[in-house]
A and B are shown apart, each in its own frame.
With several copies, the nearest count.
Chain A
Amino acid sequence: MTETTYAQSATGAEVHTTHIQEPRVLSMQQALNTALDEILASNTKALVFGEDVGHLGGVFRVTDGLQAKHGSSRVFDTPLAESGILGLAAGLAMAGFTPLPEVQFDGFAYPAINQIVCQIARLNYRSRGTMPMPITLRVPSFGGIRAPEHHGESLEALFAHVPGLKVVSPADPHQAYHLLRYAAASPDPVIFMEPKARYWQKAPVEAAPGDDLAGARIARHGRHLTLVAWGAMVARCLQVAELAAEDGIDVEVLDLRWLSPIDGVTLAESVGRTRRAVVVHEAPLTSGLGAEVAQLITASCFDTLRSPVERVTGFDVPYPSGDLEDEYVPNVDRILYGIQRVLEYKRG
């Protein structure tokens, strides 16, 4: 994966290659901001819009300074209507633009679902490839910030089930920077789920992606079992892995990254080695993406699996208020229990 691959404009717009040249320590918010800045600079057809993304720079400051730098035609506030924002994006894509709309919070993607599912995901298909939808929809996602209702949700299972969408979530600043540039260069619609609980932690962003951005990645190598996670749960799983190591348990952490399409090859390779897996996600259990991941693992590793794949997830309840958040989001204890279950499993 070279830089030019993802600096290419899907719509044939002139592309000036703009890219960080040396490692920088950035928060995810800064990494995303840098990526957006460079996307706007290198693809003259790129547009950033949504609620409060202009002057204010977004409620999480991810678009901070972009309007001042790139102008209010290319970075603009819309009225407060998510269906309108996504419908506008579809029309702009038809006109040859590369829209990067934002939905302010996960829970406010619902009013736009009709435009996302019935229009953006299908216009390439409906038009037999003549009207591509190179749209990257940024959605601050997942929980963990003690926010009001509808500000802490995980919609990946919904999006991953929609044919015509690709879905990705970065786990750290380096991933955020490279995956956003990769997504924005895609000729297909990508839902970009930003783990808002991780916006502020700093870490190095390298100039080179480091691996093939199209698939999953092993965030930590281990021998005894594989923890599969994405978004904010990757950091938590890495933390769990350190704790487990104290008990002599060697945990592999697989950062799935792409929630659609899922990288079944890396999954099979990892669990083929470790023979045990736990999937961790914040979304409710039932019909969550963990079921798909578990079934993909089981189908490919049926003979070698030593125990059923475990799921440690949010419960089948609405995302709760701050008081109960730490009870809802998989915490270290619950993940350790999941690990214990797969390690202690005995055939009956």
Chain B
Amino acid sequence: MEPLPAEELLGLYALMTEVRHLDRAAVAWQRQGIIPGYAPLLGQEAAQVGSGFAMDRTLDFAFPTYREMGVARALDVDMTGYMATHKASWHGGLYNPVTSRLAPIQAVVAGSVLHAVGWAHGQTLAGESGAALSYFGDGASSQGDVHEAMNFAAILRAPVVFFVQNNGWAISVPTEKQVAGGSVAARGAGYGIPGVTIDGNDIEAVVHTTRWALERARSGQGPVLIEALTYRRGPHSTADDPGRYRTLDEERESAGPDPMERLRDRILGAGIADMEALAGMEREAAAAVDQVRIKLTGLGTQPGAEMFNFVFQESTDSLNQQAEQWRKESDHD
């Protein structure tokens, strides 16, 4: 495995730094009442930033769950629009999924895995050469839809990469009670598709493997399944209390070294940058996050009429009448 060029490592570090800042900030915002809830990705920065970074944004398309803020940032998605989902502005987020190459945020576990397969098969049918990147978790791997997706993808030889973040937990349920056999990647063999396990906290491994898999998919060799081993260092969401199902000691032991610290040590060790340069990145990250906070708090409440506006491309009389009645009854006092 070739080491990544210095500027890529620095770019990744900058992204990871901003993601970590934004993640920590979002938890604080929830406590401050700025947003009603949030699902932190603390500890999964390398897996998310690395895989998103590996995409070709002119060709590929990503399908997230509800925890892929790091992927969104790596894809340069408008982060206020992204975070708006956590402000309860709009379920799918307020960014444009089509131009962002990131499908709307999606709360049904495993719900979008088949969409990635369909979109990927569409590439084949249209004679285009993009690949789909499907994100899901160890918990989601238990859903029937994941099985159907892998079987369809392999039968259709669809250019899709299944990127599983195995972060050790599905809310309170640990992987060993979730994934029979212990490995999601091992299931690939049953469909005749390569299943690769990687250290999801080693950002170079993540970038390399995801690039390889996407290229392989784009070149018509079919789907790949990547299982990135990582750890959910925080709670499942701001509503969760991990103290009820794991101790701090257990956390420390299972989490292993922090992916950010690993990349920092790698950069400093190779003399690619010094502490000062990295501190500069921290400051830039803090400033960027501050901008998001300002824009997010500045976002007004979504107008009620929006409820009715996007149900259909072609609305119906019945729905228009409901909108009309709603307008009358909510104008009144």
Contact = CB atoms under 8 A, between A and B. Distances in A.
A67 to B, nearest CB: 11
Interface residues of A, number: 81
Interface stretch (B220-228, B276-284, B316-324): B316-324
A95 B302 contact: no
Contacts of A151: 107
A23 interface: no
Contact of A96 (B37, B117, B126, B143): B126
Interface stretch (A121-129, A202-210, A224-232, A298-306): A121-129
B111 interface: yes
A322 B36 contact: yes
Given A78-B152, A151-B107, A286-B318, A83 B144 contact: yes
Nearest to B155: A79
Given A90-B118, A164-B311, A333-B333, A59 B151 contact: no
B333 to A, nearest CB: 7
Given A91-B122, A95-B118, A79 B311 contact: no
Contacts of A86: 114
Nearest to A315: B322
A183 B155 CA distance: 29
Q: Which one of A74, A108, A123, A317 has the highest number of Cβ atoms from chain B below 10 Å of its Cβ?
A: A317
A94 B118 contact: yes
A321 interface: yes
B152 A79 contact: yes
Contacts of B306: 320, 324
A261 B111 contact: no
A239 interface: no
A333 B332 contact: yes
A328 B120 CA distance: 36
Contact of A81 (B126, B142, B171): B142
Interface stretch (B88-96, B203-211, B287-295): B88-96
Contacts of A119: 108, 111-112, 115
* 4 closest Cβ pairs, A-B complex: A91-B118, A87-B114, A95-B122, A322-B88
Interface of B: 36-37, 61, 66, 85, 87-92, 94, 96-98, 103-104, 106-109, 111-123, 125-126, 132, 139-140, 142-145, 148-149, 151-152, 155, 170-173, 177-180, 239-240, 244-245, 301-302, 304, 306-314, 316-319, 322-323, 326, 329-330, 332-333
13 contacts: A55-B244, A56-B245, A74-B125, A79-B180, A81-B143, A81-B144, A84-B149, A89-B118, A91-B115, A115-B111, A131-B98, A261-B319, A323-B90
Given A91-B132, A148-B107, 16 more contacts: A56-B172, A59-B239, A81-B144, A81-B148, A87-B149, A91-B114, A92-B122, A124-B313, A125-B311, A127-B98, A146-B37, A164-B311, A261-B316, A316-B311, A318-B91, A323-B88
